[in-house]
Amino acid sequence: EVKLEESGGGLVQPGGSMKLSCVASGFTFSNYWMNWVRQSPEKGLEWVAEIRLKSNNYATHYAESVKGRFTISRDDSKSSVYLQMNNLRAEDTGIYYCTLLGADWFAYWGQGTLVTVSA
Amino acid sequence: QIVLTQSPAIMSASLGERVTMTCTASSSVSSSYLHWYQQKPGSSPKLWIYSTSNLASGVPARFSGSGSGTSYSLTISSMEAEDAATYYCHQYHRSPPTFGGGTKLEIK
């Protein structure tokens, strides 16, 4: 059974930093592109970042709204993917989901972790 | 980026009623790259239909998907109580991947 478990969310002040983690199980983690998708009442579902495989030199891609502020990374030995978020803004508030990309759809989603950016 | 517009935003259906919701793309999307997700309150989205018309594992056969180009739809042949949820379309034809705003389906 595929499982994705996020952690690291919470309350942070504007301009602050936070690192999200996602531990995966039930599949060969190193064979799959991993993504972060967030959800908020204001913006709905919004893709945030993607990281590819070792064979792709761990290429990364970001939404324009987070480029230069967020960094996605992975540790295949720990079946984990991370999202380092810096210079956080109020509009970054939302539930952050770790997702497994199957072909070109988000095949599995974690339960999500809530990030609240507020003074 | 490709904008996906879903309609209606909210709809209600009686049990046993046929339901259809649509997803319109701002530019053409290959049918291979148009997908649907179901989300219930307090839960994360679940892959529901992939590549326009293929049901994900465990999805009841009363669901179907169709479409091409800029117009796609999700149909439920006979509404059941468990189908009440929000449905989102998603495209990965062109980066960045984008989602529609969702159709919230309620029981009448």
Predicted local distance difference test score (pLDDT) of residue A103: 85
Residues from chain B contacting residue A63 (CB–CB below 8 Å): 96
Predicted local distance difference test score (pLDDT) of residue A102: 86
Of residues B44, B50, B101, nearest to A97 (C-beta): B44
Q: Do A47 and B99 touch (CB under 8 A)?
A: yes
Residue A24 has pLDDT above 90, yes or no: yes
Task: Using alpha carbons, list the distances in angstroms from residue A47 to A97, A105, A114, B67, B107.
Answer: 10, 12, 15, 23, 30
| Average pLDDT, integer, range A63-77 | 98
Give A114's pLDDT tier (boundaries 50, 70, 90). very high
The two tokens of residue B90 are: 């998603």
- Whole-number Å distance between alpha carbons of B68 and B28: 8
DSSP three-state, residue A54: helix
Predicted local distance difference test score (pLDDT) of residue A19: 98
Q: Do A47 and B88 touch (CB under 8 A)?
A: no
| Per-chain mean pLDDT for chain A | 97
- Whole-number Å distance between alpha carbons of B89 and B25: 10
DSSP three-state, residue A76: helix
Give residue-wise pLDDT tens across range B66-86: 999 999 999 999 999 999 999
- Whole-number Å distance between alpha carbons of A51 and A33: 6
Nearest to A74 by CA among A86, A82, A65: A82
- Whole-number Å distance between alpha carbons of B19 and B15: 10
Q: Do B45 and A45 touch (CB under 8 A)?
A: yes
Bridge partners for A114 per DSSP:
A95
A interface with B, Cβ–Cβ < 8 A, is 44-47, 61, 63-64, 97, 102-112
Give residue-wise pLDDT tens across range B19-58: 999 999 999 999 999 999 999 999 999 999 999 999 999 9
Q: Which of A70, A106, A111, A113 to mutate to test the interface with B (most CBs of B within 10 A)?
A: A106
Predicted local distance difference test score (pLDDT) of residue A104: 85
